[in-house]
Each structure stands twice: as C-alpha cells, then as structure tokens.
Amino acid sequence: MSAEPSMPLNEATVEARGVHRGFFGNPVLKGVDIALRPGRVHALLGENGAGKSTLINLLSGALLPHAGEVIVDGGSVSRFSPEAARRAGIAVVQQELSLVSELSIAENIGLGAYPRRFGLVDYGALAEGVEQVCRLVGIQENRGTPISALPLGRRQMVEIAKALFRRPRVLILDEPTSSLSAHEAGVLADLVLRLRDEGLAVLYISHRLNEVLALCSHVTVLKDGVVTADRSLAGVSPDELVRLMVGRDAEHLFPSWSPVAGKEIVRLEGFCAGSARDVSFHARRGEVVGVGGLVGQGQEDFLQGLYGAVAARAEAVSIAGSASLPKSVEAANALGIAYVPADRKRESLVLTHSIAINLALPSIGRLARGWSRSRHAEAELVSDLSARLAIKGDPARPVQALSGGNQQKVALAKWLPLKPAILLLNDPTRGVDLDTKREIYRMLRALAADGTLVVLMSSDTPELVHLCDRVYVFREGRVSGVLAHGTISEEAIVGAALGLPERKAA
C-alpha cells in the first residue's frame, strides 16, 4: 500500500500558485494551484484538453504563466526558464520521445549533460553515470546500441534513464507506461516507489487509473483549466475519480433531434488498420455514430482505413454496397465515402489557393465537359456552397485568409456536392469558435436526417454525448465499449476510455 507518511508536510520543492495561461486569447489554465512535495507521488488527472500538458510546460519552464507564479523551494522565480527548471532539478519525461535515433543509448542518456574534461567529452565518466542509471531502470542492452534499434517500450525506459542521469529532485512522468509492456511497467512502478522513498517529488500523469491508485498518494484533477480536486487518494474509488474528471454543464450548443435509423450501410468484423485492431463495427444510414476515447488509441487509423488512405483488412466487410474495403481514396470517393481530416492546414486544404478552388477540387472532374473545365458550373457550385454554409469572404481570396471556423466549413463543404453516403469526420470542431461549432452540429444532424451515415470521431466528449446515436469507444486500438442511445454519458465514455469494467446503465 502506498501509505503517505503521516508526518507534517514537507515544503514543496516546486509549486505553481494561481497560474493562468492561454493561447491566442483562448484560456487553457485559469488559476491553477499545484504543489509537488518531496517523498510523494502526485497524480495529475484530466480529460483531453483539460490543460495537463500546459501545466507540465509551466512547471518545466517551457512556457511562462500569464499570471500567477512558480515557486521553487519556497522562493518565487520571476522568469522560470527551462534553464532555471534544470537548475532547480526538475526533469520531465515527455510523451513524445525526445531521443536522437542515430545516437547510442549512452550518448542519448548523457545528451546535453556530458561530463567534460579539458573541454572534451569525458567518456569514462559518462559511461560510469550511464551504467548507474541503466541498472536503475533495468536496461540490459549494450550501451552502444543505437536508439533506432530499440523497440518503443525500451526507448521509453532510456528516456526515463536520461531524466534520472541529471539527478533530479522533481521527476515529471507524462504517460510513461503508454508504450511499455506489463513487465516494463512493473519495473517502472518499483522504480517510482524507490525514488519516492529516496525523497524525490514525482508528478505522475496517466490515464490508467489502476496505476494511479497503486502508485500515487495525492491527486490533482484538472477540468477545463480549473482544479476540481486536490486531495489525498486514500479511500478514493475509480468511479469517484472519473466523476471528478467530467461533469460539466451541457451547453446549449446542440440541436435537438430524434433517431431515424435507416438501412444498414456498414458492417465490419475483425477490421484492422494501422494501430486499430480487430474492430467490429456496424451502422445505419441516418445515424450519427461517435468514435471516442483518449487521443491516439487507433481512432484515426480506423477512419483512414475505411477511407482507403491507410492499408486495412477485415474478416467480413459490407460497406456502401461493396463487399470489400476501398483500396484507395478514389475508390472510397466512388463508393460515396468522404473524409474530413483533423489537421485542416496540412491534410484538408490547399492553403495558398483560393476558397473557390478548394471548394471545387473534388468536383472539378465531374463538372468538366469533355476535356475542359466548366468555369460556369464551378462558379455556380462555389456560390451555392458558400451560401449554404454561410462562408464569408470573396471566393477568389486564398483560403488561408479565413478564420479557423470558416476554413473548417470549406473543408466540410467541398464534400457536399458528392452527396456522400458515409461522411467520416476527424475532430471537426477542434480550434473552431462556438458559433461555427453550432452550425457544424446542426449540419451533421441535417445530413443524417437526409440519410447520410455520419461517423464523428471527437476528442470533445460532450459532442459525443449530445450529438450521437451510438458511440464506439477505443482503447489501445480496440473497441472497449459501444454505448447505445440512452446510455451515453461522459462518465460512461471516460470509463470505457480508461478501461474500467462497464457498468449497467440505470
């Protein structure tokens, strides 16, 4: 048991008090307090977009708070830079690995902190230090092995060794076990407890509630940039944790609708694409089917596999009247499948080109008369779409001149002339203002009412709750829960995303 010593609290090694931070006028952290104390493993929980990454970046000096202060050893630090964080002994193991794949294990561990002698790297001292931390985290590989030769889980362990090489006083672990095997996760758990006993302050971010409950003695829960709980974990159940993470007010954003399920249009058994594995999925015309879960659990590969953009296979397929999966994007388009990517600047739009050409691009071939483009038909299509979606601005302007919301409308509108039977959407409201969100929601429900199957992947849980007929929740590439109409709630979605056993809906 991870009992917290019941002596008076040690002074916090590093502490954030009332920190605010926003991006482009969009507040992400709104007055957050957190204190990391020596000899304690502190959990940080929150949904996607709750502000966890931003808070980590503030604690490691990568970002400066707009208001509030960072306090090290009881003293306020005015400009808390990465350099200041290093001096304070704060080490962060990021989710995105920061290793150089051409360099060896030893060189990576020492990178940026090579011991020097006479201005040269002291490889003897380096080897000694590396040896110590490698033994600590259980790296048996030859220290000269290049990182590129290691599987992802081992790289994560090297990353942790690299953080320990600096002899930190505060260790921040951001989802450290997401790529680890059960054995490695066990080694890490032992290590974390040992470091705690040696007096380190550990901040532990994880979506695996069992780990959190086993390792941590204190928790801070973030929701929409505010701390909703800062308390001891003694006697807290997983369900209580989930409840702390969700439960915001349903906004008046969503249209009212009633289910009108039509004929079945997709049925998949044993579907695999990229990191999506063994997915069973079925859906009818007229449905809005949600795809949820934590970020990066195979949802995107699932959509792109259906769209023919990544290689996919399945044991049994029926999709838009075809008995096989589309092999290419063109084939998918021919079946009436359209896809709106998440990253509109990179994957959706030709930013430097006009609004008009972006709207017309998928239709240009169809509108052509013989060899020639039909300017007249294209202009008609563009003005029709601009009017239908209230896309503001002269269509001859480059699409990059539009606001994020209007760009997203262009990315969506260009598929409407195809009258898609299946519309796949990847986080369509990310970075979109409220008014446009409302318009997009209304449009999706209207499309469904006209008999389109809308598959909505979203990292915004309320969207899934209030807009979808059914929700598929993904966890580690597999469907961890299918929620039918009436049983969809934020608690149920987050519970399935975290792999808690399904509870019977009331």
Partner 1 sequence: MNRSLVTRVAAHPWVLTLVLVALVWIVAGFTLRGFGSWGHLRYLLELSAVIGIVAAGQTLVVIAGGIDLSVGAVMTVSAILLPLLSPADDPTGLAGIGATLAIATGIGILNGAGAAYLRVPPIIMTLAMATFLQGLLIIVAGGSAVSVSNPAVIWLGSARPLGLPAGVILWILVSAATLYALHRTPFGARLMAIGANPIASRLSGLAVDRASVRLYSASGFLAGVAGILLLGMNRQGYAGIGDPYLLSSIAAVVLGGTSILGGRGTYAGTVPGAILLVTSTALITVVNASPGWRSIMFGSLILALLLVSGREARR
| Alpha helix segments (H runs only) across 286-328 | 299-306
Please identify, using beta-carbon distances, which residue of 330 and 435 lies nearer to partner 1: 330
Q: Which of 128, 239, 330, 450 binds partner 1 (CB under 8 A)?
A: 330
Considering only 332, 391, 421, 425, the residue that binds partner 1 (CB under 8 A) is 332
Secondary structure (3-state) at 175 = coil
Q: Specify the stretch interacting with partner 1 by CB under 8 A; choose among 75-83, 87-95, 106-114, 366-374.
A: 366-374
Is 347 near partner 1 (CB under 8 A)? yes
Give the separation between CA 389 and CA 247, rounded to whole angstroms: 32
Distance of alpha carbon 67 from alpha carbon 87, whole angstroms: 23
Task: Report the 10 Å Cβ neighbour count for 291.
Answer: 27
Helices 182-197 and 123-137: angle between axes, nearest 10 degrees: 110
Residues 303-322 vs partner 1: string with x where CB under 8 A? ----x-x-------------
Is 63 a binder of partner 1 (CB under 8 A)?
no
Closest CB to partner 1 among 356 and 494?
Answer: 356
Least distance in angstroms from the C-beta of 264 to partner 1: 25
Q: To the nearest whole angstrom, how small is the minimum distance from the Cβ of residue 231 to partner 1?
A: 46
Residue 361 near partner 1 by CB under 8 A: yes
Q: What burial class does residue 322 get, using C-beta atoms within 10 Å of its C-beta: 0-12 exposed, 13-18 middle, 19+ buried?
A: middle
What are 78's two structure tokens?
């005015």
Q: How far is the CB of 379 from partner 1 (least distance, A)?
A: 14
Kindly indicate which of the ranges 147-155, 195-203, 260-268, 345-353 contains the residues binding partner 1, using the contact rule CB under 8 A.
345-353
Structural contact between residues 257 and 242, judged by C-beta atoms closer than 8 angstroms? no
Q: How many CB atoms lie within 10 A of CB 125?
A: 14
d(C-alpha 152, C-alpha 2), whole Å: 29
Q: Is 120 exposed, middle or buried (0-12, 13-18, 19+ CB in 10 A)?
A: exposed
In contact, 490 and 247? CB cutoff 8 Å: yes
Q: Does 348 bind partner 1 (CB under 8 A)?
A: yes
Identify the sign of the CA torsion 460, 416, 285, 305: negative
Query: Is residue 243 near partner 1 by the rule CB under 8 A?
Result: no
Task: Name the minimum Å distance from CB 411 to partner 1.
Answer: 9
Stretch that binds partner 1, among 13-21, 150-158, 360-368, 497-505 (CB under 8 A): 360-368
368 touching partner 1, by CB under 8 A: yes
Residue of 352, 486, 501, 506 that binds partner 1 (CB under 8 A):
352
Among 57, 217, 333, 452, binds partner 1 (CB under 8 A): 333
Cα atoms found within 13 Å of the Cα of residue 343, Cβ hemisphere only: 3
Q: Would the CA dihedral through 26, 31, 32, 38 be positive or negative?
A: positive
The yes or no reply on residue 351 touching partner 1 (CB under 8 A) is yes
Q: How many residues make contact with partner 1 (CB under 8 A)?
A: 27
Task: Show the binding pattern over residues 404-423: x = contacts partner 1 (CB under 8 A), - = does not.
Answer: ----------x---------
Encoded amino acid at 127, one letter: A
Q: Which is nearer to partner 1, 9 or 361 (CB)?
A: 361
CB of 345 to partner 1, least distance (A): 9
Instruction: Establish if 346 lies at the interface with partner 1 (CB under 8 A).
Output: yes
> With respect to partner 1, which residue has the nearer C-beta, 103 or 329?
329
Find the part of the chain contacting partner 1 (CB under 8 A) among 95-103, 174-182, 346-354, 431-439. 346-354
- Within 8 A by CB and 6+ apart from 170, the residues are 13, 14, 36, 59, 88, 89, 90, 91, 200, 201, 202, 203
Q: Which residues bind partner 1 (CB under 8 A)?
A: 307, 309, 328-330, 332-333, 339, 341, 346-353, 357, 361-362, 364-365, 368, 371-373, 414
